[in-house]
Chains A and B, each alone.
Chain A
Amino acid sequence: MTDAAVRRVTALGALTAVLIGASVVGLFLVAPEDNGPGGEGQIQRIFYFHVSIALVSLLAFAVAFIAGAAYLRRPRPWWDDVVLISIRLGLVFAVLTVITGSIWAKAAWGRWWIWSDPRLATYTLVVLLYSAYFVLRSSAEGERQARFSAVYAIIAFISVPISFYAVRIAQSVVHPVVFTSKGAAMPNSMLIWFVIALAGMAALFFTLLQLELIQHRAQRALQEVKLRLERG
């Protein structure tokens, strides 16, 4: 662990704290309530967190995809760490997306679960897809574990848009899509706070990624020392 890495993660952590603090204050105290015709009132504020968490989970899976491809090109344990940690964090964010989405559904439509919301349905599939990553990972061993994990990170990431599209066409046929994203229709005062929330979540992801990478590196160094001691 180098000083530079510590400084980096400290700076990133501080930035994360500021951004998330600002977005919490902004979203709950400053941003206007959604009181227009058809507005959803207070509960609408969860939307900012819901959408930014969802986008950051996709970002995490994209990082895992890139790191997976990089691992296949140059099999360095560091890339495998990035894949593993990104998918773990991405999965946490995806589960939170489903939970916040469910809360929103309860508030907006009076039911905890709405299959006809394509985002909620897709994220449920995404959670399943990426949960399988850990099943595969725990059942493979050694260098093969890293290699298969990298391949699966690629397959799963490509499955995401395909799943989304499949859910979309299934619903457009069975019942027309009623609940479309209202993101584009946000007034500017809302949009600013949304962007800050999104940046905060992204910074949170990168901070956690860095922290865990440092931990993995330390663990591997420890392993190396143990090995050397064993050999005498």
Chain B
Amino acid sequence: MRHPDAPLVDASGLVRGFGGRRAVDGVDLQVAPGERVAVVGPNGAGKTTLLRIAATLLRREAGTLSLLGWEIPDQAQQARRHLGYLGHDPMVYLDLTAQQNLELFADLYGIDDASECITAALSRVGLLARSHDAVRTFSRGMGQRLGIARLTLHAPRLLLLDEPYTGLDSRGARLLDDLVADVGADRGILMVTHELDRALTGADRVMVMHRGRVAAEFPTAGTDLPEFRKRYAELTA
């Protein structure tokens, strides 16, 4: 960790177009250590595009971006070590076993004492008994829990979550709630969701996006849900 106090995400003026229209159009975004930021907005507001740019999965067309103090894209490899990404899909190989999947990611992240880490992660998500079964035989909820195990295996400092509650069973949702709740002082979360209540309870700050731009940004403390809903409806009308 070169910059222990550097912002986890520091972006300004991000632009990214798709087929002639700008999905993200001049967005500034900061996530400080210990902070949880939720991005909400209607479909097509550019939430996922923004998250994918922050995840180094998509190139921006303009603007600046650094993650944990590393300049993107030049120092993307260093930053990637500390990123964890979870979307609607578990992002694991269906034809490998749970164990083999986690072994692969342990190797990719260069984790020492991989086998203990993997056992710990599997028991945390309650899949230890099924660790040698192919993921194809898992239910959707189980697969998603394996996704959480993959997400946390390398102890990432910045969690990037794209509608993570989609497809989770109640146990998985509890796991994710815990993960979001005790984020810790040097970690941060950037979460994209369309569930306003999740955004309000799970984040310290909410960003409302509309047509590729930030329509409003405010802390969740002191905001109650009905008021937030009303404001959201006005902003995205």
State if A and B touch, Cβ cutoff 8 Å.
yes
> B interface, how many residues as a size bin?
under 10
Size range of the interface on A?
under 10
B34 proximal to A (CB < 8 A): no
* CB 8 Å contact bits of A140-152 with B (1 = contact, 0 = none): 0111000000000
Measured in the bound complex, the distance between the Cα atoms of B22 and A227 in whole Å is: 9
Contacts of A142 in B (CB 8 A): 17-19
Residues in A with CB closer than 8 Å to B22 are 227
Write the nearest CB–CB distance from B198 to chain A, whole angstroms.
Answer: 30
The answer to whether A131 has its CB under 8 Å from any CB of chain B is no
B61 interface residue per 8 A CB criterion: yes
CA distance A185 to B10 in the complex (A): 67
The closest CB in chain A to the CB of B17 belongs to: A142
Q: Which chain B residue lies CB-closest to A226?
A: B20
Closest to B212 in A: A231
Q: Main secondary structure on chain A at its contact with chain B?
A: helix
B3 within 8 Å of A by Cβ? no
Evaluate contact between A141 and B19: CB separation under 8 angstroms: yes
- A143-B59, A143-B61 known; A227+B21 contact, CB < 8 A: yes
Q: Verify if A223 is at the interface (C-beta below 8 Å from B).
A: yes
**How does the 8 Å CB contact mask read for A52-68 relative to B, with 1 for contact and 0 for none?**
00000000000000000
Residues of A within 8 A of B17 (CB): 142-143
Produce 1/0 per residue, A218-232, CB < 8 A to B: 000001000100100
CB distance from A117 to the nearest CB of B (A): 45
Contact of A223 with B20 in the complex, beta carbons under 8 Å: yes
Note all chain A residues with C-beta closer than 8 A to B21: 227, 230
Contact residues of A between 125 and 149, Cβ < 8 Å to B: 141-143
- Closest B residue to A141 by beta carbon equals B19
- Bound Cα distance A141, B18 (Å): 8
Residue of B nearest to A144 (CB): B59
Please give the distance in Å from A195's CB to the nearest CB on chain B: 45
- Interface of chain B residues 37 through 91 with chain A (CB within 8 A): 59, 61
Would you give 12 A-B contacts (Cβ < 8 Å), ordered by A? Answer: A141-B18, A141-B19, A142-B18, A142-B19, A143-B17, A143-B59, A143-B61, A223-B20, A227-B20, A227-B21, A227-B22, A230-B21
Q: Name A's B-contacting residues (CB within 8 A).
A: 141-143, 223, 227, 230
